Amino acid sequence: MAAESFSDDPGTTTVAIVEDNSTFRQYLSELIASTPGHRCVCACASADEALEKIPAQRPDVVLMDIHLPGVSGIACTARLREKMPGIQVIMLTVYKDIQMIFQALKAGACGYVLKRADEKEILGAIAEVRAGGAPMTSQVARMVVRSFLEEPSDHSATEQLSPREMEILALVAQGRANKEVGNELHISSGTVRIHLSHIYEKLHVRCRTEAAAKYFSSQPSGRRDMAAPAL
């Protein structure tokens, strides 16, 4: 499903935090609370707490620790996405564990940010997902795309999409944010979000990363090799 704004005030980005380290959790809470246009709606210390509180708060974005005690951040992300398909989850990680990040993306996360990132990078990642992007380094993007290209071709994956939906999906697969897609096709970013919700439903996926994977798998081998590594 496409991202939807859950905030009562469309100009405010509501954020939930799931982080077991109390010091870092407090830092993130204070950062969000002190940033104009942002509001921290809950700060959870575990996946169990997050699964109880976040659906009731309906935040726009979740900052999710990838390594949580008990239920992992990856499993928590998958369960939250089942309950709230439009929620945007950014994984928090101390290092670039490519396999873990890839698992998180498959679970429905839309990107990640390193815990050592500065305030500007963290807030930038939130702004990027709200604009329809997927924050990750070019190195990780290349590896993610490469893993998609290694999958067997499935030319029927996108047959049910309309020509307009295919145009949008192709641009999303190039790493374009919703606003950039809209500018390219001369439509609003809101219209792009509506088209994306239909694309996700038809392809049975939960996020733009999975949708891009479907796009790549539908391409002939020659075009798959030329796919842009920029999710």
Lowest-confidence pick of 77-81, 86-90, 110-114, 210-214: 210-214
For residue 17, report the phi and psi dihedrals to the nearest 5 degrees: -120, 135
The secondary element (H helix, E strand) that includes residue 14 is strand 13-18
Report the predicted TM-score, pTM, of the whole model to 2 decimal places.
Answer: 0.73
**Which one, of 128, 133, 131, 150, lies nearest residue 227 by Cα?**
150
What's the CATH number of domain 144-225, 1.10.10.10, 3.30.390.10, 1.20.140.10, 1.10.3470.10?
A: 1.10.10.10
Give, in degrees to the nearest 5, the angle at Cα 77 between 73 and 83: 145
Average pLDDT of every residue of the chain: 83
Q: Please report which confidence band the pLDDT of residue 212 belongs to, taking 50, 70 and 90 as the band edges.
A: confident
Query: Is there a contact between 212 and 173 (Cβ–Cβ < 8 Å)?
Result: yes
Question: Mean per-residue pLDDT for 130-134?
Answer: 77
Question: Mean per-residue pLDDT for 108-128?
Answer: 91
What's the CATH number of domain 13-136, 3.90.120.10, 2.60.40.790, 3.30.930.10, 3.40.50.2300?
A: 3.40.50.2300
| pLDDT value at residue 86 | 80
